[in-house]
A and B are shown apart, each in its own frame.
Chain A
């Protein structure tokens, strides 16, 4: 019965995807290295679009990939870069004082 096998395969895939999503979310929110969090977030967005496809929502998948992962990811990366630079500036200023 190939149909049933396909069905169970897909369900297995769904479960795996859900678990991966949860794992990625857990890791990215755990803190530590911010850069890693941001990269994980972008990956999270891409995995989400996969989930949206599985939920028969191709429009949402497109939007998620372009906006949720793409644009938000770019925003996060730039913000992180600026944050680092601000940190350096503060660091330098404090270093100069002492």
Chain B
């Protein structure tokens, strides 16, 4: 057990224990529940910062392992990639918690909601810190368990239907994943994640088996990442409350899937082996198909949250596209999009939640003139949407830029065409709400106006988190060259994973000519 392994446990417990405690609070114990929520979220944030300091300044390693079966351990470990994902989760959890407290004010069953909400984040952080494939599988399944109650939270027939579909997909994915992980463990043992993979030593004639397992792993993780044939649970899960959608789409569930794919490709198979096996190209094609398909569906979706959901289907596949390019620059683009998409998408969902909660706006055509009524929210929405389209100098531009460079580096120039087409489609579905919101005039009353009369355009607990994440989305693009930016971080990871010392310098020079 390396030093400070309990630090990781503490990070898990900082949301797990408050979560469990919250379950047993009475509905009226608002103050205590809020204290537990915010206390846990803040504590986790601080612990992650401490962890970052420990890893990067003091060069400590953190890991913790618990025996499960002979030769098989539950391993928690902190490497650069897990820290990236954990930090993203911790930050976004903090803001989402604040947002959710405001959003769910006076609605029933809040103790249950926040309990599962906390469990969900614990599972996500567990996924981030998983040190081997089995641990990843375990937390991945726990995430299913913790998110189902959130999907069905409203308790309507529609949400139960969505919950059933969600379960059908994720449990099936989990079963496939379990089969794959057991199989792989039989072949190669329960190895820790290793940069460059740990399957090289397997003899060449096991290629077909490895391809089969790879396909199963991709199917298992692809469910949550909403890869093309497995995506349809996601738009339906939109019946959940806005903070859940935000969490599901921006951080927890889809990212867990994408993160799993990144882990498998980078730290289990290794990019070289994957490329040798010829599995990266099919994955790339699948990602591209998902990107285009999601964008097209988003164009034709009238409901705002549906549109965002299909946008998520499309955008998450950028991450997969990036790693499937099998080169360092593409990987930078994919991984940085993990962060960028998270922050931008959560901003969009917060905005959509604000519109729905304040004015009862659910459909794109109802957004006419909303810019005058809610200028702050509309500004945030605009920033994030433009970022998604990839307008410089916003965060999405950086992702797409590196993805494009990565494609060129990999000799797949045609992929850039896909990126361009996709960006056009992004514009096609994000510009109408922006234009309508700012430049159209409202005739008649809002569908369902609630937060009238205050000095702010809506409840401060809704507005503040929205503005915070919008500012982050802006900052990530503008300040991409700072050493605390996700981009810097990602290049560090990629440098390590791909073993190129010079690459990060090269990228950096490429980026700032």
A and B touch in the complex (CB under 8 A): no
B residues sitting closer than 8 Å to A (CB atoms) are none
